[in-house]
Amino acid sequence: MHHDKLTEYNAMVIWVIGLAGSGKTTVANMLCDAFWAVKKPVVLLAGDNVREVFGNDLGFTERDRLSNASRIRSLCYLLDQQNINVVCAILSISQVDRDWCRNNLTNYKEIYLDVSVDMIEARGDRDIYRQYKDGETKNVVGCDIRFEAPERPDFIIENKNSIGDLINRTKTIAENILSKND
């Protein structure tokens, strides 16, 4: 059953964007916990989980990453039409995907985790960047696959400090989002 935009409560789709190791999963899980804490059901979609659901039929080339993002957009649209909250943890390498979401989803919010490859690598948060530099892997976003930073995110978290800072900033964003959606 489709709920129109005039319903008392509009579900939202929150697109958590950033490079591998930027903190997307941490932020997405915290946002889901915040929804559940106020008795608002939510579905978490993460890029790798969606790949698994579809039988891991996509690789990690730019084309495959765009195909996976398209699947996630479609799932978000399906859930949005049923008035179900969704939090996505996704690299989201293309502004085209984010523009589609903004234009087609009822209540879309973007959170961008802004952190450089060098900082992620220095923290040891992801081995993939070292593997790329050592020639052990390819198709790494931020290295040989271009990452288009979002043009107009609703929230930016500069994840350059401690995990505590990331947690505090996420709590503030969750409170902001949920207070505007009561």
Give catalytic residue positions: 92
Report long-range pairs for 128-131 (Cβ below 8 Å, ≥24 apart).
128/20, 128/21, 129/20, 129/21
Output the CA torsion sign for 15, 17, 23, 24: positive
- Scan for tokens 């696959």, then name that residue: 145
DSSP state of 5: T
User: What tokens does 57 get?
Assistant: 């039929």
d(CA 168, CA 153): 19
Question: Are 156 and 112 within 8 A, CB to CB?
Answer: yes
**What residues contact residue 91 under an 8 Å CB cut-off, 6+ apart?**
17, 18, 19, 20, 24, 47, 65, 69, 141, 147
